[in-house]
Amino acid sequence: MRITLVQGDITEQDVDAVVNAANSSLLGGGGVDGAIHRRGGPTILADCRRLRATRFPKGLPTGQAVATTAGELPALWVIHTVGPVYSPSEDRSELLASCHRESLRVADELGARTVAFPAVSTGAYGWPVKDAARIAVRAVRKTDTRVAEVRFVLFDERAFTAYGEALRAAGPTD
Ligand code: ADP
């Protein structure tokens, strides 16, 4: 698997699946979630509502992932995952790793070969970006998957730098 980095907007990525940093309601929010629903149009929310009504009446648990169609986005699917809210007093890194692992498991189920991830939990959920980058890169590298490219799409330069450093620290993948 190749891990690549892009500074930019995840809604513009021409990949099989984009990962959404959703909240457990699956009914929309700010940040990446807002951007995906805005650009993807109403079919994504309609799918999310159906998932709430059928599989996740109490919401999608933290650390899990589920797919919907991608509406008008260039991607074919959106994989919604719920990152943990950062806590300075409790180690929630396993849940953040789980988001990445579970998203790739769902990608494998879909047959997606290229998957774009945002910096899950580093916005509204407050995770320090260097630490999140380390956890995300490590989790992706450790996952056994048929996904050929994982592309981290970082909105700002700080996140782009942090993910670049985490990737270099982890060593080569190919
Ligand atoms: P969370 O609630 O998991 O923290 P957010 O969406 O608030 O999720 O933020 C996650 C990261 O996504 C932040 O680093 C934020 O800057 C970034 N982000 C916001 N919009 C976009 C976008 N359109 N494409 C890629 N990244 C984005």
Which of 19, 23, 32 gets mutated to test ligand 1 (max ligand atoms within 8 A of its CB)? 32
Catalytic residues: 33
Alpha carbon distance 88, 90 (integer Å): 6
- Ligand 1 centroid–CA 127 distance in Å is 11
pLDDT of residue 28: 86
User: What is the tens place of the pLDDT at every residue in 83-141?
Assistant: 999 999 999 999 999 999 999 999 999 999 999 999 999 999 999 999 999 999 999 99
Pocket of ligand 1, beta carbon within 6 A:
9-11, 21, 30-33, 35, 83, 118-125, 153, 155-156, 159
Model confidence band, residue 173 (pLDDT cutoffs 50, 70, 90): low
pLDDT above 90: residue 69: yes
Whether the complex's predicted ipTM surpasses the cut of 0.90: yes
Q: Which atom of ligand 1 is nearest to the CA of 125?
A: 4
Instruction: Give the CA distances from residue 67 to residues 40, 132, 174, in Å, rounded to whole numbers and listed in that order.
Output: 14, 23, 28
